[in-house]
Each structure stands twice: as C-alpha cells, then as structure tokens.
Structure 1
Amino acid sequence: MPLPQLIIHRRDRRNRALITLAGEIDLDSAPLVHTALALCLRDGIRTVDVDLTSVPFCDCSGLNAFLDAAQKTAEAGGTLRLHHPPPILGLILDLTGSGFLLLGPPPGQPAPPLGDVPAPTTAAPPHWPVPLGSVLSGDAR
C-alpha cells in the first residue's frame, strides 16, 4: 500500500505554529494531519494556523482531524484556525455549521457560545425534509 501523498511543513515561532499542508486529505492521510496537530500541543504550541492553500481536497475524515485538534487546543487554552480551505471543505463546514470552530467568526461578529451551533447557510434541496417515516418505509421521493 503506497503512503498517502500529503506534505506537512511546520514552522514554529515561540508558542505559535504555522502548519502548511499540500496534497489531498482523506481517510488515508487524515491520521498524518491528526498526528502533526497533536505534536504541536505536545511541544507547547497554543496557537496553530493551518494553511490549506495547496490542498485541493479534504473530506470528512480531515474535518474530523481538524475538529478534534481544535477541541484539544481550546482545552489547553489555545486556538486552531484554518486558512484558505478548499471549496469542498468549505461546503462541508457550511453544511455542518462548524465553520466558526475552525475559521473563526465572520469579521465584526463574536463567536457563538459552544453548544449554540448556527444553522447551515445553504438551502436544502426542494424535496427535503423528507418525513422520517417515508425514509424508513422506503417511500422517499
């Protein structure tokens, strides 16, 4: 099995790190992201900026790695922010309502309190919501 094609570069300045990722983040490479971000905390880094400019694709496993790292960083009194996410990750962040956790609040707005997750801003397809009974009985339209 070939190794995941993801390049991770870390640059530290005191208790701040810039993680630059290049390549795709998926089920195979997400553990590398998770490890790189965990090492920042282990090394005393409390502010982590992740540059995704050279990441053309990031799926839900990558999002999970970022959310886990953001939570652990916040518990340690720090912050983790994503910069320049690829369009697919932006869509996933929007659909899950978790963008404020990783991108920060929109300019001029405070972050909502934890547990008060905003509703996604994209409209649902016109046929949704399908009643749960329809889905369970196989009558989804």
Structure 2
Amino acid sequence: MRVPPVLNVHRHDTGGRALITLTGEIDLDSAPLVHASLERCLHDGIRAIDVDVTAVTFCGHNSLNAFLCSLLHTAAAGGSLQLHHPSPALERLVELTGSGSLFVTLPDAFAGTRPPPLFSPLHAASYPLLPGLSALPGGVL
C-alpha cells in the first residue's frame, strides 16, 4: 500500500497580503491542497499572495499546474501571486516550461499602496534569487 506524501500548508495574513508556506512534497495527491489553499485566499479577499516553497522537498509537474491555475485566477481577480525561494528542481521546471515570467509580470492591484514584497519573486534562470529567510519560533515566517 502506497503511503501518500505529507504536505503542510501554513497561512499568515497581513492586511490584504497572505504568505503561504508549503512544507513537504507536492505531487498528484497533494497538488489539489495547494490549489485549494491559494483559492481560499482569493475567496477571503486576499489579492497579494506570496508562496514560500523553501521547504518543499518534491515538486512535480502537478505542482506547477496548481501554481499556474491559481496564478490565472489571481490575475483575473486583479491580484498577484509570487513564488519565493524555489528549489533548483522547481526553478528548472519553470525554466523548461517558460512560465517564470508569469510569476513576476502580473498586474499588481496594490501597486504603490503597500510596502514592497518581503521576499524576492521567482525570476527567470538569469536572475539570482535572494537567500531564504529564517523561520520565527513556531515555524511561521
């Protein structure tokens, strides 16, 4: 019997912005949880979503599909979704599909009305990524 991988999702809201921290594996079984978590932000009125994938140990094509689908819904709602601190494997997957620029060129409904992002967005392979931030006690960033 196959044991499904574990994926933990933590959400921290600050004003109209949410930080979603993912820990574990994102595969066919857990990708719907990622998508549902991001969609819940939109349902709750959040339009600026940051997804920290520092602690994601596996990211298959299903995870990219969940991120892209949520990205489209977020953009349609006038918001932005950014991935932060991707693993080399996720960077490569994004690079191979040519979808990296989608995560940094969305119109931002809050442009000029909020502080800059706390983390660097996922860039194309030619742009360096900033190192991850340390978690506060309790595992919340």
TM-score, normalization by structure 1: 0.71
Residue identity in the other structure for 2:36? T
C-alpha distance in 1 between matches for 2:55 and 2:62? 18
Residue identity in the other structure for 1:10? R
- Look up the SS of the partner of 2:73 in the other structure: helix
Q: CA shift at 1:22, angstroms? A: 0.3
**Which digits, 9 at most, give the CA deviation of each residue in 1:11-56, with x for residues without a partner?**
0011100000000111111010010000000000000000001012
Match of 1:27 in 2: 28
Q: CA shift at 1:4, angstroms? A: 3.9
Residues 42-121 of structure 1 mapped to structure 2, 5 A cutoff: 42-102=43-103, 104=104
C-alpha distance in 1 between matches for 2:32 and 2:87? 19
Write 1 or 2 for the structure with the bigger share of helix: 1
C-alpha distance in 1 between matches for 2:10 and 2:37? 9
State the number of aligned residues. Answer: 107
Show structure 2 runs of 5+ residues with no match. 106-123, 126-141
Write 1 or 2 for the structure with the bigger share of strand: 2
C-alpha distance in 1 between matches for 2:78 and 2:15? 15
C-alpha distance in 2 between matches for 1:36 and 1:44? 13
Q: CA shift at 1:65, angstroms? A: 0.3
Residue identity in the other structure for 1:38? E
C-alpha distance in 2 between matches for 1:4 and 1:57? 10
- Structure showing greater relative contact order (alpha-carbon pairs closer than 8 Å, 6 or more residues apart): 2
Residue identity in the other structure for 1:98? S
Alignment RMSD, CA only?
A: 1.9
**Which digits, 9 at most, give the CA deviation of each residue in 1:78-109, with x for residues without a partner?**
0000001111111110011001112x26xxxx
C-alpha distance in 2 between matches for 1:22 and 1:12? 18
TM-score, normalization by structure 2: 0.71
Identity of aligned residues (%): 57
Match of 1:7 in 2: 8
Larger Rg: 1
- Look up the SS of the partner of 2:69 in the other structure: helix
- Look up the SS of the partner of 2:59 in the other structure: coil
Show structure 1 runs of 5+ residues with no match. 106-119, 122-141
- Look up the SS of the partner of 1:92 in the other structure: helix
- Look up the SS of the partner of 1:62 in the other structure: helix
**Which digits, 9 at most, give the CA deviation of each residue in 1:61-80, with x for residues without a partner?**
00000000011000000000
